[in-house]
Protein backbone atom coordinates (compact mmCIF):
# COMPACT_ATOMS: atom_id res chain seq x y z
CA UNK A 1 0.00 0.00 0.00
CA UNK A 2 1.12 3.60 -0.49
CA UNK A 3 -0.42 7.03 0.02
CA UNK A 4 -1.74 7.43 -3.53
CA UNK A 5 -4.78 5.21 -3.26
CA UNK A 6 -6.68 6.53 -0.24
CA UNK A 7 -7.89 4.13 2.44
CA UNK A 8 -11.61 3.46 2.27
CA UNK A 9 -13.77 5.67 4.46
CA UNK A 10 -17.50 5.77 5.08
CA UNK A 11 -19.27 8.12 2.70
CA UNK A 12 -20.65 11.23 4.39
CA UNK A 13 -24.29 11.47 3.21
CA UNK A 14 -24.98 15.02 4.50
CA UNK A 15 -24.48 16.91 1.23
CA UNK A 16 -26.65 14.37 -0.65
CA UNK A 17 -29.60 14.90 1.68
CA UNK A 18 -29.79 18.67 1.80
CA UNK A 19 -32.00 20.81 -0.35
CA UNK A 20 -29.66 23.68 -1.19
CA UNK A 21 -26.28 22.84 -2.61
CA UNK A 22 -23.24 24.97 -1.77
CA UNK A 23 -20.57 25.61 -4.42
CA UNK A 24 -18.21 23.58 -2.25
CA UNK A 25 -20.45 20.51 -2.77
CA UNK A 26 -19.82 20.50 -6.53
CA UNK A 27 -17.16 18.07 -7.75
CA UNK A 28 -14.73 18.31 -10.70
CA UNK A 29 -15.44 22.03 -11.26
CA UNK A 30 -18.69 21.18 -13.06
CA UNK A 31 -21.31 23.92 -13.56
CA UNK A 32 -23.46 24.07 -10.40
CA UNK A 33 -26.69 24.70 -12.29
CA UNK A 34 -27.62 21.75 -14.47
CA UNK A 35 -28.90 22.65 -17.90
CA UNK A 36 -29.97 20.58 -20.92
CA UNK A 37 -29.49 21.77 -24.49
CA UNK A 38 -32.80 23.06 -25.89
CA UNK A 39 -32.19 21.21 -29.12
CA UNK A 40 -30.26 17.97 -28.50
CA UNK A 41 -30.77 17.49 -24.71
CA UNK A 42 -27.07 17.10 -23.92
CA UNK A 43 -26.27 18.25 -20.40
CA UNK A 44 -23.92 21.14 -19.61
CA UNK A 45 -22.11 18.71 -17.27
CA UNK A 46 -20.50 16.95 -20.25
CA UNK A 47 -16.70 17.33 -20.11
CA UNK A 48 -14.84 18.18 -23.30
CA UNK A 49 -12.55 15.51 -24.65
CA UNK A 50 -9.15 16.44 -23.30
CA UNK A 51 -5.56 15.32 -23.32
CA UNK A 52 -6.01 12.49 -20.81
CA UNK A 53 -2.34 12.59 -19.80
CA UNK A 54 -3.07 15.89 -18.01
CA UNK A 55 -5.90 14.37 -16.01
CA UNK A 56 -5.63 13.66 -12.26
CA UNK A 57 -8.00 13.74 -9.32
CA UNK A 58 -7.66 17.53 -8.97
CA UNK A 59 -8.42 18.33 -12.61
CA UNK A 60 -11.05 20.99 -13.16
CA UNK A 61 -13.10 19.83 -16.12
CA UNK A 62 -13.75 22.01 -19.14
CA UNK A 63 -17.35 21.35 -20.07
CA UNK A 64 -19.43 21.81 -23.20
CA UNK A 65 -20.29 25.47 -23.80
CA UNK A 66 -23.90 26.70 -24.03
CA UNK A 67 -24.92 29.97 -25.68
CA UNK A 68 -27.48 32.47 -24.34
CA UNK A 69 -30.32 30.72 -26.19
CA UNK A 70 -29.53 27.50 -24.35
CA UNK A 71 -27.97 25.71 -27.34
CA UNK A 72 -24.81 23.65 -26.95
CA UNK A 73 -21.56 23.88 -28.87
CA UNK A 74 -22.24 20.63 -30.79
CA UNK A 75 -25.57 22.05 -32.03
CA UNK A 76 -23.75 25.24 -33.01
CA UNK A 77 -21.44 23.12 -35.16
CA UNK A 78 -24.37 21.12 -36.59
CA UNK A 79 -25.95 24.44 -37.62
CA UNK A 80 -22.69 25.75 -39.10
CA UNK A 81 -22.41 22.54 -41.12
CA UNK A 82 -25.61 23.35 -43.00
CA UNK A 83 -23.75 26.22 -44.68
CA UNK A 84 -20.66 24.21 -45.60
CA UNK A 85 -19.97 23.67 -49.27
CA UNK A 86 -19.43 19.91 -49.13
CA UNK A 87 -18.45 19.65 -52.79
CA UNK A 88 -15.61 22.01 -52.06
CA UNK A 89 -14.56 19.99 -49.01
CA UNK A 90 -14.58 16.84 -51.12
CA UNK A 91 -12.19 18.53 -53.53
CA UNK A 92 -9.98 19.45 -50.58
CA UNK A 93 -9.94 15.81 -49.51
CA UNK A 94 -8.98 14.69 -53.04
CA UNK A 95 -6.18 17.24 -53.09
CA UNK A 96 -4.88 16.01 -49.76
CA UNK A 97 -4.98 12.37 -50.85
CA UNK A 98 -3.30 13.18 -54.19
CA UNK A 99 -0.45 14.68 -52.23
CA UNK A 100 0.09 11.54 -50.16
CA UNK A 101 -0.89 8.72 -52.56
CA UNK A 102 1.97 6.32 -53.27
CA UNK A 103 2.87 5.43 -56.86
CA UNK A 104 4.12 1.94 -56.19
CA UNK A 105 1.28 0.69 -53.99
CA UNK A 106 3.11 1.02 -50.69
CA UNK A 107 1.12 2.09 -47.64
CA UNK A 108 0.24 5.77 -47.81
CA UNK A 109 -2.36 6.29 -45.08
CA UNK A 110 -2.98 4.83 -41.66
CA UNK A 111 -6.56 4.23 -40.49
CA UNK A 112 -6.84 3.50 -36.78
CA UNK A 113 -9.94 1.70 -35.56
CA UNK A 114 -11.61 -1.42 -34.27
CA UNK A 115 -13.53 -2.38 -37.38
CA UNK A 116 -16.69 -0.72 -36.16
CA UNK A 117 -18.87 1.16 -38.64
CA UNK A 118 -16.77 4.34 -38.70
CA UNK A 119 -13.30 2.88 -39.22
CA UNK A 120 -14.75 0.43 -41.74
CA UNK A 121 -16.31 3.27 -43.69
CA UNK A 122 -13.16 5.40 -43.79
CA UNK A 123 -10.77 2.58 -44.74
CA UNK A 124 -13.14 1.19 -47.38
CA UNK A 125 -13.77 4.58 -49.02
CA UNK A 126 -10.07 5.39 -49.05
CA UNK A 127 -9.18 2.16 -50.75
CA UNK A 128 -12.06 1.62 -53.17
CA UNK A 129 -13.17 5.16 -53.99
CA UNK A 130 -9.96 7.16 -53.70
CA UNK A 131 -7.37 4.57 -54.73
CA UNK A 132 -5.31 4.88 -51.57
CA UNK A 133 -3.31 2.04 -49.96
CA UNK A 134 -4.45 2.12 -46.36
CA UNK A 135 -2.88 0.21 -43.52
CA UNK A 136 -5.20 -0.24 -40.56
CA UNK A 137 -4.16 -0.47 -36.92
CA UNK A 138 -5.91 -1.38 -33.71
CA UNK A 139 -5.21 -1.01 -30.02
CA UNK A 140 -6.88 -4.17 -28.70
CA UNK A 141 -9.97 -3.82 -26.51
CA UNK A 142 -9.85 -5.09 -22.91
CA UNK A 143 -12.35 -7.89 -23.41
CA UNK A 144 -13.75 -8.46 -26.88
CA UNK A 145 -17.44 -9.13 -27.23
CA UNK A 146 -18.00 -12.08 -29.61
CA UNK A 147 -19.68 -9.79 -32.16
CA UNK A 148 -16.85 -7.22 -31.77
CA UNK A 149 -14.30 -9.84 -32.73
CA UNK A 150 -16.48 -11.02 -35.62
CA UNK A 151 -16.68 -7.45 -36.97
CA UNK A 152 -12.96 -6.90 -36.62
CA UNK A 153 -12.32 -9.78 -39.02
CA UNK A 154 -15.24 -8.76 -41.25
CA UNK A 155 -13.37 -5.47 -41.72
CA UNK A 156 -10.04 -7.06 -42.65
CA UNK A 157 -11.72 -9.59 -44.92
CA UNK A 158 -12.74 -6.76 -47.23
CA UNK A 159 -9.08 -6.34 -48.14
CA UNK A 160 -7.12 -4.70 -45.34
CA UNK A 161 -3.93 -5.48 -43.50
CA UNK A 162 -3.91 -4.63 -39.84
CA UNK A 163 -1.45 -4.23 -37.02
CA UNK A 164 -3.12 -5.25 -33.78
CA UNK A 165 -1.31 -4.11 -30.67
CA UNK A 166 -2.26 -5.97 -27.51
CA UNK A 167 -0.80 -4.43 -24.40
CA UNK A 168 0.34 -6.82 -21.66
CA UNK A 169 -3.02 -7.90 -20.16
CA UNK A 170 -1.66 -8.09 -16.60
CA UNK A 171 -0.39 -4.52 -16.76
CA UNK A 172 -3.50 -3.38 -18.58
CA UNK A 173 -5.65 -4.81 -15.81
CA UNK A 174 -3.49 -3.21 -13.13
CA UNK A 175 -3.48 0.21 -14.79
CA UNK A 176 -7.21 -0.03 -15.40
CA UNK A 177 -7.76 -0.83 -11.72
CA UNK A 178 -5.61 2.15 -10.70
CA UNK A 179 -7.68 4.37 -12.95
CA UNK A 180 -10.87 2.97 -11.42
CA UNK A 181 -9.53 3.72 -7.92
CA UNK A 182 -8.14 7.23 -8.45
CA UNK A 183 -10.48 8.89 -10.97
CA UNK A 184 -13.29 6.34 -11.54
CA UNK A 185 -12.29 6.26 -15.18
CA UNK A 186 -11.55 2.59 -15.92
CA UNK A 187 -11.57 3.30 -19.65
CA UNK A 188 -8.84 5.92 -19.48
CA UNK A 189 -5.78 3.70 -20.07
CA UNK A 190 -7.45 2.28 -23.16
CA UNK A 191 -8.38 5.77 -24.40
CA UNK A 192 -4.73 6.75 -24.00
CA UNK A 193 -3.56 3.61 -25.76
CA UNK A 194 -5.89 3.88 -28.73
CA UNK A 195 -5.16 7.57 -29.12
CA UNK A 196 -1.38 7.33 -28.77
CA UNK A 197 -0.64 4.05 -30.53
CA UNK A 198 -1.54 5.15 -34.11
CA UNK A 199 0.71 8.23 -34.13
CA UNK A 200 3.64 6.30 -32.64
CA UNK A 201 3.05 3.51 -35.12
CA UNK A 202 2.70 5.91 -38.08
CA UNK A 203 6.05 7.37 -37.09
CA UNK A 204 7.67 3.93 -36.95
CA UNK A 205 6.21 2.89 -40.30
CA UNK A 206 6.98 6.23 -41.88
CA UNK A 207 3.36 6.83 -42.95
CA UNK A 208 2.78 10.52 -42.21
CA UNK A 209 -0.96 10.65 -42.99
CA UNK A 210 -3.38 9.36 -40.34
CA UNK A 211 -7.14 9.56 -40.98
CA UNK A 212 -9.63 9.18 -38.13
CA UNK A 213 -13.40 9.05 -38.42
CA UNK A 214 -14.51 11.91 -36.26
CA UNK A 215 -13.25 15.13 -34.79
CA UNK A 216 -14.09 15.66 -31.07
CA UNK A 217 -15.93 18.86 -32.06
CA UNK A 218 -18.75 16.60 -33.34
CA UNK A 219 -19.51 15.93 -29.70
CA UNK A 220 -19.17 19.43 -28.35
CA UNK A 221 -15.50 20.38 -28.10
CA UNK A 222 -15.03 24.05 -29.07
CA UNK A 223 -16.05 24.27 -32.72
CA UNK A 224 -13.49 27.03 -33.35
CA UNK A 225 -10.82 24.32 -32.96
CA UNK A 226 -12.34 22.49 -35.90
CA UNK A 227 -9.83 22.58 -38.73
CA UNK A 228 -8.81 19.83 -41.10
CA UNK A 229 -5.71 19.28 -38.95
CA UNK A 230 -6.57 17.81 -35.58
CA UNK A 231 -4.96 19.50 -32.57
CA UNK A 232 -1.51 18.17 -31.81
CA UNK A 233 -2.28 18.55 -28.08
CA UNK A 234 -4.64 15.55 -28.27
CA UNK A 235 -1.93 13.25 -29.57
CA UNK A 236 1.24 14.51 -27.98
CA UNK A 237 2.62 16.05 -24.80
CA UNK A 238 5.07 18.80 -23.99
CA UNK A 239 7.21 16.73 -21.65
CA UNK A 240 7.07 12.96 -21.31
CA UNK A 241 8.42 13.20 -17.76
CA UNK A 242 5.44 15.27 -16.68
CA UNK A 243 2.37 13.26 -17.59
CA UNK A 244 -0.25 11.25 -15.74
CA UNK A 245 -1.53 7.79 -16.51
CA UNK A 246 -4.57 6.58 -14.56
CA UNK A 247 -4.52 9.97 -12.83
CA UNK A 248 -1.10 9.16 -11.32
CA UNK A 249 2.12 10.99 -12.15
CA UNK A 250 4.56 8.95 -14.20
CA UNK A 251 7.27 9.33 -11.56
CA UNK A 252 4.98 7.74 -8.95
CA UNK A 253 4.00 4.94 -11.30
CA UNK A 254 7.67 4.03 -11.56
CA UNK A 255 8.75 4.63 -7.99
CA UNK A 256 5.68 3.77 -5.93
CA UNK A 257 4.03 1.14 -8.14
CA UNK A 258 7.17 -0.39 -9.64
CA UNK A 259 6.17 -0.12 -13.30
CA UNK A 260 9.00 -0.04 -15.81
CA UNK A 261 9.33 1.61 -19.21
CA UNK A 262 8.18 -1.35 -21.31
CA UNK A 263 5.11 -1.64 -19.10
CA UNK A 264 4.21 2.03 -19.48
CA UNK A 265 5.03 2.41 -23.17
CA UNK A 266 1.60 1.41 -24.47
CA UNK A 267 -0.03 4.42 -22.76
CA UNK A 268 2.62 7.05 -23.55
CA UNK A 269 2.07 9.85 -26.06
CA UNK A 270 4.68 11.22 -28.44
CA UNK A 271 6.34 14.45 -27.41
CA UNK A 272 5.56 17.63 -29.38
CA UNK A 273 9.06 17.47 -30.84
CA UNK A 274 8.67 13.88 -32.00
CA UNK A 275 5.26 14.67 -33.46
CA UNK A 276 6.54 17.65 -35.45
CA UNK A 277 9.74 15.95 -36.54
CA UNK A 278 7.74 13.05 -38.04
CA UNK A 279 5.67 15.56 -40.05
CA UNK A 280 2.54 13.72 -39.04
CA UNK A 281 -0.74 14.93 -40.47
CA UNK A 282 -3.77 13.75 -38.50
CA UNK A 283 -7.16 14.55 -39.97
CA UNK A 284 -10.74 13.48 -39.38
CA UNK A 285 -12.90 12.28 -42.24
CA UNK A 286 -15.85 14.13 -40.71
CA UNK A 287 -14.22 17.43 -41.67
CA UNK A 288 -14.51 16.60 -45.37
CA UNK A 289 -17.89 14.94 -45.57
CA UNK A 290 -21.24 15.53 -43.92
CA UNK A 291 -20.70 12.81 -41.30
CA UNK A 292 -23.69 10.68 -40.42
CA UNK A 293 -22.89 7.68 -38.15
CA UNK A 294 -26.10 5.85 -39.04
CA UNK A 295 -25.29 6.00 -42.76
CA UNK A 296 -21.81 4.66 -42.03
CA UNK A 297 -23.48 1.68 -40.42
CA UNK A 298 -25.67 0.98 -43.48
CA UNK A 299 -22.63 1.37 -45.74
CA UNK A 300 -20.67 -1.09 -43.60
CA UNK A 301 -23.42 -3.71 -43.59
CA UNK A 302 -23.87 -3.37 -47.35
CA UNK A 303 -20.17 -3.81 -48.05
CA UNK A 304 -19.15 -6.51 -45.59
CA UNK A 305 -20.23 -9.30 -43.31
CA UNK A 306 -20.51 -6.81 -40.41
CA UNK A 307 -23.22 -7.68 -37.89
CA UNK A 308 -24.94 -5.60 -35.21
CA UNK A 309 -24.88 -6.91 -31.68
CA UNK A 310 -27.57 -9.62 -31.23
CA UNK A 311 -28.89 -7.79 -28.18
CA UNK A 312 -29.65 -4.22 -27.23
CA UNK A 313 -26.52 -2.54 -25.87
CA UNK A 314 -26.80 -2.08 -22.13
CA UNK A 315 -27.53 1.48 -21.03
CA UNK A 316 -28.97 2.50 -24.37
CA UNK A 317 -31.40 1.54 -27.12
CA UNK A 318 -29.03 0.95 -30.05
CA UNK A 319 -27.29 -2.19 -31.27
CA UNK A 320 -24.57 -0.92 -33.56
CA UNK A 321 -22.39 1.79 -32.00
CA UNK A 322 -19.25 0.99 -30.03
CA UNK A 323 -20.03 -2.65 -29.36
CA UNK A 324 -16.67 -4.41 -29.42
CA UNK A 325 -15.48 -4.15 -25.79
CA UNK A 326 -17.24 -5.53 -22.71
CA UNK A 327 -15.76 -2.67 -20.68
CA UNK A 328 -17.87 -0.15 -22.63
CA UNK A 329 -20.73 -0.96 -20.24
CA UNK A 330 -18.57 -0.04 -17.27
CA UNK A 331 -17.30 3.14 -18.92
CA UNK A 332 -20.74 4.59 -19.55
CA UNK A 333 -21.95 3.58 -16.10
CA UNK A 334 -19.12 5.64 -14.58
CA UNK A 335 -19.91 8.69 -16.75
CA UNK A 336 -23.46 8.50 -15.41
CA UNK A 337 -22.11 8.45 -11.84
CA UNK A 338 -19.71 11.37 -12.32
CA UNK A 339 -21.61 13.62 -14.72
CA UNK A 340 -25.19 12.31 -14.73
CA UNK A 341 -24.82 11.40 -18.44
CA UNK A 342 -24.89 7.76 -19.52
CA UNK A 343 -24.79 6.02 -22.84
CA UNK A 344 -28.39 6.55 -24.00
CA UNK A 345 -28.00 10.25 -23.29
CA UNK A 346 -24.89 10.47 -25.51
CA UNK A 347 -26.62 8.48 -28.27
CA UNK A 348 -29.81 10.54 -28.10
CA UNK A 349 -27.95 13.86 -28.35
CA UNK A 350 -26.03 12.67 -31.40
CA UNK A 351 -29.11 11.24 -33.12
CA UNK A 352 -31.20 14.37 -32.51
CA UNK A 353 -28.42 16.49 -34.03
CA UNK A 354 -28.24 14.12 -37.01
CA UNK A 355 -32.01 14.40 -37.45
CA UNK A 356 -32.66 10.69 -36.79
CA UNK A 357 -34.98 11.04 -33.78
CA UNK A 358 -37.15 13.76 -32.25
CA UNK A 359 -36.56 15.50 -28.94
CA UNK A 360 -39.64 13.80 -27.46
CA UNK A 361 -38.41 10.34 -28.48
CA UNK A 362 -35.00 11.23 -27.08
CA UNK A 363 -36.43 12.24 -23.73
CA UNK A 364 -38.27 8.99 -23.26
CA UNK A 365 -35.26 6.90 -24.39
CA UNK A 366 -33.02 8.63 -21.85
CA UNK A 367 -35.51 8.11 -19.05
CA UNK A 368 -35.92 4.48 -19.99
CA UNK A 369 -32.32 3.32 -20.50
CA UNK A 370 -29.76 5.84 -19.30
CA UNK A 371 -27.45 4.73 -16.49
CA UNK A 372 -28.54 1.08 -16.40
CA UNK A 373 -26.53 -0.97 -13.93
CA UNK A 374 -23.81 -2.93 -15.82
CA UNK A 375 -25.29 -6.36 -15.15
CA UNK A 376 -24.66 -7.89 -18.56
CA UNK A 377 -20.93 -8.70 -18.19
CA UNK A 378 -20.66 -7.83 -14.50
CA UNK A 379 -18.81 -10.95 -13.42
CA UNK A 380 -16.20 -10.52 -16.18
CA UNK A 381 -15.83 -6.82 -15.42
CA UNK A 382 -15.28 -7.33 -11.71
CA UNK A 383 -12.82 -10.15 -12.39
CA UNK A 384 -10.97 -7.89 -14.76
CA UNK A 385 -10.47 -5.35 -11.97
CA UNK A 386 -9.62 -7.94 -9.29
CA UNK A 387 -6.30 -9.46 -8.22
CA UNK A 388 -5.60 -12.70 -6.49
CA UNK A 389 -3.74 -12.14 -3.22
CA UNK A 390 -1.51 -15.18 -3.61
CA UNK A 391 -0.84 -15.44 -7.34
CA UNK A 392 -0.74 -11.77 -8.22
CA UNK A 393 1.03 -10.37 -5.18
CA UNK A 394 2.94 -7.81 -7.23
CA UNK A 395 -0.36 -6.04 -8.00
CA UNK A 396 -2.68 -7.05 -5.18
CA UNK A 397 -0.46 -5.54 -2.46
CA UNK A 398 -1.46 -2.00 -3.49
CA UNK A 399 -5.14 -2.44 -2.71
CA UNK A 400 -6.89 -2.61 0.63
CA UNK A 401 -9.28 -5.05 -1.02
CA UNK A 402 -7.66 -6.62 -4.11
CA UNK A 403 -10.86 -8.40 -5.13
CA UNK A 404 -13.62 -6.11 -6.36
CA UNK A 405 -17.02 -7.52 -5.39
CA UNK A 406 -20.38 -5.87 -5.98
CA UNK A 407 -20.43 -4.11 -2.62
CA UNK A 408 -16.93 -2.72 -3.06
CA UNK A 409 -17.82 -1.61 -6.59
CA UNK A 410 -21.01 0.17 -5.50
CA UNK A 411 -19.46 1.83 -2.46
CA UNK A 412 -16.49 3.00 -4.48
CA UNK A 413 -18.69 4.49 -7.24
CA UNK A 414 -20.70 6.41 -4.63
CA UNK A 415 -17.64 8.43 -3.61
CA UNK A 416 -17.55 9.89 -7.11
CA UNK A 417 -21.17 11.11 -7.14
CA UNK A 418 -21.36 14.87 -7.00
CA UNK A 419 -24.05 16.13 -4.58
CA UNK A 420 -25.24 18.73 -7.08
CA UNK A 421 -26.20 15.89 -9.45
CA UNK A 422 -27.33 13.17 -7.02
CA UNK A 423 -29.52 13.02 -3.96
CA UNK A 424 -29.90 10.15 -1.55
CA UNK A 425 -33.51 9.09 -0.93
CA UNK A 426 -35.25 6.18 0.76
CA UNK A 427 -35.51 4.55 -2.68
CA UNK A 428 -31.79 4.96 -3.38
CA UNK A 429 -29.87 7.44 -5.53
CA UNK A 430 -31.91 9.86 -7.65
CA UNK A 431 -30.91 12.57 -10.07
CA UNK A 432 -31.76 16.01 -8.67
CA UNK A 433 -32.58 17.45 -12.05
CA UNK A 434 -34.04 14.83 -14.36
CA UNK A 435 -34.78 15.58 -18.02
- 75 lies in the binding site for Zn ion (CB under 5 A): yes
Nearer to Zn ion, 39 or 318 (CB): 39
Whose Cβ is closer to Zn ion: residue 40's or residue 323's?
40
Out of 4, 37, 268, 421, the residue judged to bind Zn ion by CB under 5 A: 37
72 touches Zn ion (CB under 5 A): yes
User: Is residue 133 within 8 Å of residue 107, measured between CB atoms?
Assistant: yes
d(Cα 333, Cα 339) in Å, to the nearest integer?
Answer: 10
CA distance 1 to 13: 27
As measured in angstroms, the least distance from the Cβ of 67 to Zn ion is: 10
- Stretch in the footprint of Zn ion (CB under 5 A) among 55-63, 68-76, 181-189, 372-380: 68-76
- State the nearest-atom distance from the C-beta of 194 to Zn ion, in Å: 26
Closest approach, Cβ 222 to Zn ion, in A, equals 14
Site stretch for Zn ion (CB under 5 A), options 33-41, 95-103, 128-136, 244-252 = 33-41
Which range touches Zn ion (CB under 5 A), out of 37-45, 200-208, 315-323, 410-418? 37-45
Distance of closest approach, residue 35 Cβ to Zn ion, in angstroms: 11
Instruction: Give the span between the Cα atoms of 37 and 40, in whole angstroms.
Output: 6
Sign of the CA dihedral running 258, 261, 265, 269? positive
Q: Which is nearer to Zn ion, 240 or 359 (CB)?
A: 359
Give the separation between CA 335 and CA 300, rounded to whole angstroms.
29
Show the site string, 38-57: x = touches Zn ion by CB under 5 A, - = not. Answer: -xx-----------------
Is 135 buried (19+), middle (13-18) or exposed (0-12) by CB count in 10 A?
buried
Stretch that binds Zn ion, among 30-38, 181-189, 289-297, 417-425 (CB under 5 A): 30-38
The nearest distance, CB 255 to Zn ion, in angstroms, is 44
Q: Looking at beta carbons only, is 18 or 79 nearer to Zn ion? A: 79
217 binding Zn ion? (CB under 5 A): no
Compose the 122-161 pattern: x for residues touching Zn ion by CB under 5 A, - for all others: ----------------------------------------
Of 39 and 244, the one with the shorter C-beta distance to Zn ion is 39
61 φ, ψ (degrees, to nearest 5): -80, 135
Q: Could you list the residues that contact Zn ion (CB under 5 A)? A: 37, 39-40, 72, 75
Amino acid sequence: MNDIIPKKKILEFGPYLKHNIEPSDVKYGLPKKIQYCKNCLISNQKPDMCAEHEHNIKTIKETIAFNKEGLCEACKLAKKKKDIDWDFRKKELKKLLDKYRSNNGSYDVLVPGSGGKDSFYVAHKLKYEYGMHPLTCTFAPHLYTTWGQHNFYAWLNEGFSNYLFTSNPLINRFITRLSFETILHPFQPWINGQKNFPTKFARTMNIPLVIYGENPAEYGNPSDDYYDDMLMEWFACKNKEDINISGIHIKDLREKFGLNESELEAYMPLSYDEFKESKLKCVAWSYFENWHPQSNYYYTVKNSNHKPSPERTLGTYSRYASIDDQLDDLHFYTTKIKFGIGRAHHDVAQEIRSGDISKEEGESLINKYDGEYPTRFLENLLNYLSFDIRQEKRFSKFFEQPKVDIKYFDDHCDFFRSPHIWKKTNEGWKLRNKI
